[in-house]
Structure 1
Amino acid sequence: MRWSYDKGGSARGESGGGSASVTSGLGAALQGGRTAEATAWTSCPSLPASSSSVLFELHFLQAEPELLLRSSMEVNEERARGREAADEEMAAMEANESCTLDGSVDFRGRPARRASTGGWPAGSLILVNQGLATLAFFGVGVNLVIFLTRVLHQNNAAAANNVSKWTGTVYLFSLIGAFLSDSYWGRYKTCAVFQIIFVTGLVMLSLTSYLFLLKPSGCGNEHASCEPHSGPKVILFYLSVYLVALGNGGYQPNIATFGADQFDEHHPTEAHSKISFFSYFYLFLNLGSLFSNTFLVYLEDDGSWALGFWVSAASALAAVALFFGGTRRYRRFRPNGNPLSRVCQVIVAAARKWDIDAPSSSKELYEAGSKEPADNGSRKLLHTEGFGFLDKAATFEGGDRTVPRRPCPPAGRDPWRLCTVTQVEEVKCVLRLLPIWLCTIIYSVVFTQMASLFVEQGAAMATSVASFHIPPASMSAFDILSVASFIFLYRRLLHPLARRVKADPRGLTELQRMGVGLVIAVAAMVAAGTVEIHRLKLAGSMSIMWQIPQYVLIGASEVFMYVGQLEFFNSQTPDGLKSFGSALCMLSMSLGNYVSSILVTVLTSITGGGGRRPGWIPDDLNRGHLDRFYFLLAGLTAADLVLYIICARRYKSIKLEGKGVEAGDEIAGAGDSFPAGNSAV
């Protein structure tokens, strides 16, 4: 027999084909079990229970004849407890849908509600903010090499080196932003502070250029040279551009992660959106730079440098205003404390126990109780094999504990002698990421040529098509169009095809896509070198439009390499190191710029014979061999690809407690999911 209750208190019975009775402990079981389930959501304000009728079914498994003699009052009390438990369960279910499950909070520090925070409304604000900020940044960066040669009278090699150093410093500053975000400020505050610094630097640059550098008025185009400048004016210029570098560098890795924070990976729909967000993020980044690489470049190439810089400053100011406009909508995560101290604790604790053996079973290692969060409040990590020396940091010695080891933490535990499994796994995660990260640096060397030597190569070609003059730096617009096109092609065509061919719902993993990006980068350098061979034969009569293939190939490689990097480093870093994961992408670009600068300097010295010969990259490219430099980069990238494949095949993914699978696999069936695997290439 089945009893059904509604909220009005009425009851009805249905024949179940057998005897029925009410067990004496049923009400208490329902009250205890379901109330406990409901109270799991007390940290999130639940919605009021629905006023509609609630159906509560009681299935009776045994017939106890003596219970049939209970008074109707006892039965009514049992029914009331059942209705109360059902109401609590419904409230818990509604709370489940009401609040996020990833621990995010709103602007007042309360558990974030799904309907009123985050999601695509907040994510869209961040995407537009990124587009405007990118417009501002590339309004300075993309034509900086031309500014240095025309306004500050630097030669080609010096200008290319200075741009590489400046760009590298931009990405180096990303480590500062990531550290402050993960440790102390949180991502929202970090993004806000560094965006204000960014705007300040752009305003200073605009004023410096207008008041001091662009003299006489209208100078700085290819026909009118500017007068020489004194040391203080040049110092003020460099102070301005490096303030721009600090602002953009500290902001950039955090805004990508902050955008991903707006999507709850525990919610199926939002988890799929989170993966898609990185592609859209990179798309908006390139759409923002499209305006810089066309309109602003045209203004600056014509000598309107100050106007171009003021437009960049206005765009950055609009980005800041838009960012603050979404303050109430954003989801946030509290900072997890200094990650460097946690890493150092593991190393010191393991070193102190160098002479003991780690237990053969991971169950013998120390971890916080099963219902407790990790020491820094983040999700716990499961033990993985490898780097066994570090497991000693979580191994007990006689003086490490005074109470049983599990599930309670030892009383008065010294974190410099005994660490948790999660702490140890955080260090292992970083160590496993390093080989993959190192293999991305050579790609960044290739990528940085687009802002330096590609521009100088274009300036040595015929820049007029019919009666229209094409600024060399504006050719990077073809890179941007390529990025937009290949993101669309990948999402709509290549990914579904890969899923069918591989019979794997994941399609290409992040590591596989990064490998594809390296292959395309080799092709881009071969194309650039081939164009240069023909340009040398035709001197200045070869059209700049022949550069289109190398820009298109660089753009295609970005879709696979940089979007794959963003997803990979975000998914494979622990909760307390998310901004650090994004900063690794930026740091790769930073070191790529520095390596490019070193390569240019060394090769110029060697091939130039100390100034006795033109060398590969002379002031007059018609007397050099830029093609050989491009082919050298193609060879280095091919060698890097081989090393990358070896590292990617040996990579082990992060494992989060409660997932039961490696990070990323829980949404492997999603149309936009590309998780990394153990053998990804």
Structure 2
Amino acid sequence: MDAEPQPSDAPKKGGWVTFPFIIATMAGLTLAAGGWSNNLIVYLINEFNIKSIDAAQIANIVNGCMALFPILGAILADSYLGSFIVILVSSFVSTVGIVVLSLTSTLDPLKPTPCENDQSPCMGPSKAQIGILYTSLALSTMGVAGTRFTLATMGADQFGNQKHQVVFFNWHFFTMYVATLVSMVGIVYIQDNVSWGLGFGLSGAANLIGLVAFVLGGRYYQLLKPQGSPFTRLACVLVAAFRKRKSLLSPKIEDYCQEPQPEGSNLMITTPTTSFKFLNHAALVSPGDMNPDGSINKPWNLCTLQQVEDLKTLIRISPIWSTGILLHTPIATQMSLIVLQSLAMDRHLGARFQIPAGSMMIFVMISTSISLAIINRFLLPTLHKLTHTSPTPLKRIGIGHILTISSMALSALVESKRVTTAQTHNLTDNSIVPMSVFWMVPQLVVVGVGEAFMFPGQVMFYYQEFPKSIKSTAAAMVALFIGIAFYLGTAVIDFIRKQQGGCLMVSMMGGWIMFIGC
């Protein structure tokens, strides 16, 4: 993608002048998303009379969509609309969705009759009520998906210096986690103790503020022009290589198709690499493939060497990307089931205050935010002074993996103790286990430290390694495997639930065991 040409007298676009607007947008949108999604399970159980495990499954699906859909937003941004339009429209859509969700909590006709302690059976939502609820969740989810990683890529596009991009990514993730932390503490507390309508209303206001901040910075942004779908170009490589599979590869560079270069350009000529050699057939020029003016006559018969190398880059990165799916499956499951686990434990902090179950992930956010600051301001500069080098993105990813596995081992120990305590006291399904919820804090802290190493490392790695034509897609690849992990966790829980006849015992990777009940 190329930057739009600017008149000679036009002000310079991009740079640090755009930083306050993009960060303010990220803060507002993240605060809004966390405000309506973090306590969704409790809202479905208490206000819509939905069974606890069903509410967890719904939340898993919503979280999966919030993680998977950014790839669609990134494709639209890269291929057709550009990042600015995608972020603008998505922010408006999420505002509408949160407003509708607020109405479901304030208008009695839009939610079922509240359950009384002695009411049996408890009436669930009608089809119309559940339809409006799902519509609000769909709009809110699509809005989040269209902005989360596209905004990160657009922010990085404002800086031509790679060091400035690294600094931006660190501040971007720091802002994202701090805003999520504020929503978990403030908005969730308001929802549990004051009013659901006020809590959702504050989320809508934050979303609107983020949208306004983004629009106000429009005059300063450096916008990249989309150049059509890059995935079509990559698909052409596979088709052309298959069609020419019987052709003999040539050792001469002149026999391969190159990207058209502007007159007087000093761009390097692409040389075919020996890895995945079969794909080189796609760039091999055959009679009739080229027009007299040098343009490609049949795009599905001939591709440029740059297209071939772009596809090879994706293939090389795919093993690293795929490892994140299984690793994040227990974490994705933990994000929803930890709420149910907290509801069954002693959440008191002092005699009167009780921690909201939807706020337990706050310990992950605190840990990640502090770790990001320490890594960026102390650890990396210290390592650079001592070794004159900095950890590569791959090393940061590896450290994050080790910490994530360690957190699952801690989870196994804590959950084993919780289950043993429940069995010792012969507790019923709805009873509170006499065990403090703070037993879960160490595992959540370790998860947070792992995310501080892993997520920025992954985004920086994909942004640096992916072809220029799909930079936004590169940033969204992190969200893609998280979304797949959410759905995989949902499928595992549903399968085990059916096999156990309604009693759920989930055994996940890393030795983590979660008992929910019948």
- Number of aligned residue pairs: 499
**Alpha-carbon distance, 1:257 to partner:** 0.3
The SS at the match of 1:170 is helix
Once the two structures are TM-superposed, the CA of residue 240 in structure 1 deviates from its matched residue by 0.7
Is 1:536 matched up with 2:419? yes
CA distance in 2, matches of 1:372, 1:532: 66
Residue 620 of structure 1: aligned partner: none
Among 135, 142, 145, which residue is 2:31 paired with?
135
Match of 2:3 in 1: 104
Cα offset, 1:385, TM superposition? 3.0
Cα deviation, residue 174, structure 1: 1.6
Contact 1:451 1:473 in 2 (8 A): no
Question: What does 1:186-225 correspond to in 2, within 5 Å?
Answer: 186-211=82-107, 212-213=109-110
Q: 1:354-403: CA deviations, max 9, x gaps?
A: 101222344542213554699xxx99866433111111111122333466
Match of 2:275 among 386, 399, 404: 386
Q: 1:549-560, aligned counterparts within 5 Å?
A: 549-560=442-453
Work out the CA distance in 2 between the residues paired with 1:451 and 1:430.
30
Counterpart residue type for residue 384 of structure 1 = T
Name the structure 2 match of 1:580: 473
> Which protein is richer in helix relative to its size?
2
- Over 3 Å counting, the alpha-carbon distance change for 1:631 and 1:284 in structure 2 is same
Q: What secondary structure does 1:399 align onto?
A: coil
Matches within 5 A, 1:470-619: 470-499=355-384, 503=387, 505=389, 507-539=390-422, 540-606=433-499, 608=500, 610-611=501-502, 614-616=503-505
For 1:446, which of 316, 319, 330 is the aligned residue?
A: 330
Aligned residue number for residue 353 of structure 1: 244
Task: Give the Cα–Cα distance (whole angstroms) in 2 for the partners of residues 597 and 346 of structure 1.
Answer: 35
1:260 aligned residue (148, 156, 159):
156
Change in Cα spacing, 1:615 to 1:361, as seen in structure 2 (3 Å) is same
Query: How high is the TM-score relative to the length of structure 1?
Result: 0.69
CA 1:632–1:157: 2 relative to 1, 3 Å: farther
Question: In structure 2, what residue type is equivalent to 1:307?
Answer: L
Which amino acid in 2 is paired with 1:191?
I
Q: Distance in 2 between matches of 1:538 and 1:373?
A: 76
Matched residue SS, 1:400:
coil
For the residues of structure 1 that align with 2:295 and 2:136, how far apart are their CA atoms? 53
Does residue 166 (structure 1) correspond to residue 62 (structure 2)? The answer is yes
Distance change (3 Å), C-alpha of 1:150 and 1:173:
same
For 1:558 and 1:632, the matched residues in 2 are separated by 20
Q: Does 1:275 align with 2:166?
A: yes
Distance 1:500 1:238 in 2: 53
Alignment match, 1:665: none
Query: 1:129·1:319 contact (CA, 8 Å) conserved in 2?
Result: yes
Matched-pair contact (CA < 8 Å) for 2:115–2:123: no
CA RMSD of aligned residues (A): 2.8
Identify which of structures 1 and 2 has the higher relative contact order when contacts are C-alpha pairs closer than 8 Å and 6+ apart.
2
| Range with greater deviation from structure 2 (174-183 or 296-305) | 296-305
Q: Aligned residue for 2:142?
A: 246
Task: Tell me what 2:22 maps to.
Answer: 126
Measured after TM superposition, the shift of residue 492 of structure 1 is 3.1
1:412 and 1:525, CA in 2 relative to 1: closer, same or farther beyond 3 A? closer
> Aligned partner of 2:225: which letter?
R
Partner SS state of residue 257, structure 2: coil
Query: Which whole-Å deviations, capped at 9, do the CAs of 1:109-146 have from their partners, x for residues lacking one?
Result: 51699974322220221112111101111111111111
Amino acid at match of 2:81: W
Deviation at 1:590, TM superposition (A): 0.8
Query: Is structure 2 residue 229 aligned with structure 1 residue 338?
Result: yes
Distance across 1 between alignment mates of 2:119 and 2:271? 65
Residue identity over aligned pairs, in percent, reads 30
| TM-score (normalised: structure 2) | 0.89
Helix, strand or coil at the partner of 1:110: coil
Q: Distance in 1 between matches of 2:509 and 2:241?
A: 46
Rate the CA distance shift 1:630–1:153 in 2: closer, same or farther, 3 A. farther
Q: Distance in 2 between matches of 1:436 and 1:220?
A: 48
Residue aligning to 1:293 = 184
In the alignment, which residue of structure 2 is the partner of 1:49?
A: none
- Unaligned 5+ residue runs, structure 2? 423-432, 514-518
Q: Supply the distance in 2 between the matched residues of 1:343 and 1:112 (Cα, whole angstroms).
A: 36
2:347 corresponds in structure 1 to: 463
Q: Distance in 1 between matches of 2:60 and 2:78?
A: 28
CA spacing shift, 1:289–1:229, aligned 2, 3 Å: same
8 Å Cα contact 2:253-2:271 kept in structure 1? no
Larger Rg over CA atoms: 1
C-alpha separation in 2, matches of 1:276 and 1:220: 51
**Residue type matched to 2:215 in 1?**
F
Equivalent residues in 2 for 1:5-24, closer than 5 Å: none
